[in-house]
Amino acid sequence: MKKHIIIIATGGTIAGSGEAGKAADYQAGRIDVSEIVRSVPAISHLAELTTIQLCNIDSNDMTEDTWLRLRDQINAFGSDPDVDGIVVTHGTDTLEETAFFLNLTVNHRKPVVLTGSMRPATAASADGPMNLYQAVALAASEEAVNAGVLAVFSDTIYSGRDIQKINSYKTDAFEIGDFGCLGYMRDDQVYFLSKTDKPHTADSIFAQAELSALPKVAIAYYHCGADRQTLELLSERCDGLVIAGSGSGNYSSEWKETIHRLAETKIIVRSSRVLQGIVFDSPFFDPGHDTIPSYTLSPQKARILLMLALSVTGEREQIRTIFETY
C-alpha cells in the first residue's frame, strides 16, 4: 500500500516565478503547492499526497511565529495514524534554521524532510521538481523514521542539525561542514551512510515544551574594528546574545572586556563566523567562563538553541549542558 505523505509548503524559490526559461530574476513564493506537485507527475507513483499551503513567502520572511505554527502542524500529523511522513518545501536562504528548529521541537519520529530549490519553477532547468520528488521518496522510506529532521537537495540527504547553505548561486547549494552528508538519493532510492548521534525530535527536551513565544536572541558579528556599542545595544534589546566571533569564537580585547561585563546579566554564547571547526571554552578570550561555547553550531543555529534553552531555563549551567548535548 502507498504511504500517505503530507507536503506543507512555505514558499521559497521552489515556488518562485519569473520570466519563462530564465533563472536569475524571479519572485520567490508565488506558485501554489498543488501546481508545483502537478508539474511532477511521477510523484503520484511514490505516495498518496495531501498538500497544505502554510504560507507562500521568501524564506527571509520566515518568523518564529511561523516556525511555531509549522511545528504544531507537523506534531498534529504525528498522532494521525493515516499519515506516514511530512515534506516541507522552503526557501533555501533560511532552510537550515527551520530544519534545526524542527529537529529540536517536533515530538514524534515520523520522517520530516525539507527541500527547496535554487532555480524558480519557471526556469528552463528548474531543480525543484527533482528535489521535491526525492523529498517525498525519502519521507515515504522506513529508513527515514527516527532519523531526525532531514533535508534533501541535489541528490543528497542532510541532517537538519548540520545542513548549511554554502553557495549563494549554484544548484548544489548545501553542505555539512566537517561531517559529510547522511547519504544519497538515486532517483527515489534511499542510500543512508550515517545517522546523527545528537538527540533530536521525540528525544529532545524541547519536544514536549510549551512554546508559545520565543525569547529574543540576537547575533553580534565580530569584525576588525567592531565597537563595544554594538554589543551593548543588542544586549539591551535581547534576552540572550550569540557572538559570531572570528577563528575559534574570538574577538578584540574591547569586546572581551564588554562581554565579561554583559555576561553578569545576560546569557552569551560564543560561536564562530568560520564555516568549519569547533568552538570550545577559551582560557584566553573567556578566562572567567562567562560565555557558553556553541561547539559545532553556526551562529544562526546557536541562536535557535539559545532561544529554546531560554524558554525552559535561565540557569547558565543548565544552558551550558544543553549546548554540550544538542
Ligand X SMILES: NC(=O)C[C@H](N)C(=O)O
What is the nearest approach in angstroms of ligand X to the Cβ of residue 10?
A: 9
What is the nearest approach in angstroms of ligand X to the Cβ of residue 116?
A: 5
Nearest CB to ligand X, comparing residues 30 and 200 = 30
Nearest CB to ligand X, comparing residues 23 and 279 = 23
Task: Name residue 16's amino acid.
Answer: G
Report how far residue 233's alpha carbon sits from residue 306's, in angstroms, rounded to the nearest whole number.
19
* Nearest Cα residue to 5 out of 62, 71, 65, 89: 89
Q: Is-catalytic flag, 321?
A: no
Q: Is-catalytic flag, 13?
A: yes
**φ and ψ at residue 198, rounded to 5 degrees:** -80, 145
Report how far residue 117's alpha carbon sits from residue 89's, in angstroms, rounded to the nearest whole number.
9
Which of 10, 51, 92, 201 is catalytic? The answer is 92
CA of 254: how far to CAs of 45, 186, 225, 245, in Å? 61, 52, 10, 13
CA-derived radius of gyration, the chain: 20
Nearest CB to ligand X, comparing residues 91 and 129 = 91
Question: Residues of 314-325 as b/e, b for ≥16 C-beta within 10 angstroms?
Answer: eebeebbebbee
Q: Which three cell numbers stand for residue 183?
A: 547519504
Which of 10, 13, 89, 201 is catalytic? The answer is 13
Nearest CB to ligand X, comparing residues 158 and 295 = 158
Which is it for the CA torsion 304, 95, 74, 157, positive or negative? negative
Which is it for the CA torsion 154, 156, 159, 162, positive or negative? negative
Q: H or E element: which one contains 292? A: strand 292-293
Nearest CB to ligand X, comparing residues 165 and 316 = 165
Angle at 155 between CA 197 and CA 57, to 5 degrees: 90
Residue nearest to ligand X (CB): 91
What is the nearest approach in angstroms of ligand X to the Cβ of residue 44?
A: 24
DSSP string, 95-163: HHHHHHHHHHH--S-S-EEEE--SS-TTBTT-SHHHHHHHHHHHHT-GGGTTS-SEEEETTEEEETTT-
Nearest CB to ligand X, comparing residues 115 and 235 = 115
Nearest CB to ligand X, comparing residues 63 and 79 = 63
What is the nearest approach in angstroms of ligand X to the Cβ of residue 183?
A: 23
Binding site for ligand X (CB under 6 A): 12-13, 28, 58-60, 91-93, 116, 118
62 contact partners, CB below 8 Å, separation of at least 6: 10, 90, 91, 94, 97, 98
- Cite the active site residues: 13, 92
